[in-house]
Amino acid sequence: MLGALLLPRVQPRLGPDGTVAADSLLTALVLAAFSLIADPYAAAAAASLLAGVSWIFVLSSLQVAAQLALPNWVRARGLSLGGS
């Protein structure tokens, strides 16, 4: 939910491509943090929050891009192939 609330503030500054690039990098850093943090509870709390926010940012950005790119007559079928 935090990602959905923050996205309208972040995306105008970075744009759709910048949002996907920045959040892909954030996801990579979160995965590295999972492997480096010794306390599993700290990793689960902090890194999972960041991973969830970045996932929502990327997923919503790619969904909007797909909706804008597909023609009206095939949009529903094309979005169903994405699995999201």
Give per-residue pLDDT as tens, 25-65: 988 988 888 888 887 787 778 888 888 888 888 888 888 88
10 Å CB burial of residue 82 (0-12, 13-18, 19+) is: exposed
Q: Give, in order, the Cα–Cα distances in Å from 3 to each of 9, 38, 51, 53, 67.
A: 10, 26, 10, 4, 20
pTM: 0.69
State pLDDT tens for residues 2-26: 777 887 888 888 888 888 898 889 8
